[in-house]
Amino acid sequence: MVTRASIGPLLNVLASGLLLISFAMLSRRRTQRLIILFAWQGAILFLSTCLVAYSSGLTELYYSAALTLILKVILLPWILHRLISKLGAQWDSETLVNIPTTMLVGLVLVIFAFGLTQPISTLATTITRHTLGMALAVILLAFLMMITRRKALTQVIGFLAMENGLFFAATSATYGMPMVIELGIALDLLVGVFILGIFFFQIREQFDSLDLHHLEALKED
């Protein structure tokens, strides 16, 4: 049985795992790998939410942990996998900036996030106060991934990873959001992925590829 005193360090380890996965996502070229990493991120999120729920004694958090497990570890990766195999899109996803530069920018973002949250975490009293900086870093890194990638699928994965970061930030700052809001966000995500899946097919039909720079031209030449 986990003692309450050891939960703090364990949460730190899990938060670092999230950060590590965010960096791995930045450096991966293949879409298939990104989905697996996304599922892992969800699994870590589930574990950390369970730990926070256990240490704070809030039953609500168990529900949101279960929601995370079903939605982000099982359902969304499965949908994305099916989308990929239907689109035949297991190719390399190009990056705009080369990977070492992207990683360096990511490192600067991490420093920024840590510096920004330092005053907040010194004021907070929750068990998760140290992880707020890491949650913000995960959000910013997902942002960076959306900016540097061109393919529609990877941008969606970046968007989902950003939601993971937001969820984690919510649990670390205030022990989670109200249940209604969380249910709403979960539904939004699910529907969003469905709609974007339909969009993928439309985009591919129109341009013969999922590269988003085709969408930048407003009229046909």
Partner 1 sequence: MRGITFVRQFGEVVLAIAIAPLFAGWIAQCRAWMQNRSAPSLVQPYRMLRKLFQKDAALAKNASPLFRTTPYVLFGTMVLAAAIIPSLATDLPFARAADAIALIGLFATARVFVSLAAMDIGTAFGTLGARREMMIGFLAEPALLMVLFNAFLLSGSTALPSLVEFYNAHRFLIDPSLAFAAIAFVMVLLAENARIPIDNPTTHLELTMIHEAMLLEYSARHLALVEWASSLKLFNYACIGFALFIPWGIAAGGRNGSAATLLAIAALMGKLAVAGAALALIESLSAKLRIFRAPEYLATAFLLAVLGLLVHLQIGAR
Q: In terms of CB distance, is 133 or 158 closer to partner 1?
A: 133
Q: Least Å distance between CB 107 and partner 1?
A: 6
Footprint of partner 1 (CB under 8 A) = 6, 9-10, 12-13, 15-17, 19-20, 23, 27, 98-100, 103-104, 106-107, 110-111, 114, 118, 130, 133-134
The whole-angstrom separation of Cα 19 and Cα 25 is 10
By beta-carbon proximity to partner 1, the closer residue of 9 and 184 is 9
CB 131, min distance to partner 1, A? 9
Q: Give first-to-last CA distance, the chain, whole Å.
A: 66
Q: Are 121 and 133 in contact (CB under 8 A)?
A: yes
The tokens describing 59, both together, are 């039953």
Number of residues that make up the chain? 221
d(CA 169, CA 162): 10
Torsional class of 171: left (φ above 0), alpha (ψ -120 to 50), beta (otherwise): alpha
Least distance (Å) between residue 12 CB and partner 1: 5
Give me the phi and psi of 28, to 5 degrees please: -85, 145
Nearer Cβ to partner 1, position 106 or 176?
106
C-beta of 165: minimal distance to partner 1 in Å?
15
Nearer to partner 1, 106 or 158 (CB): 106
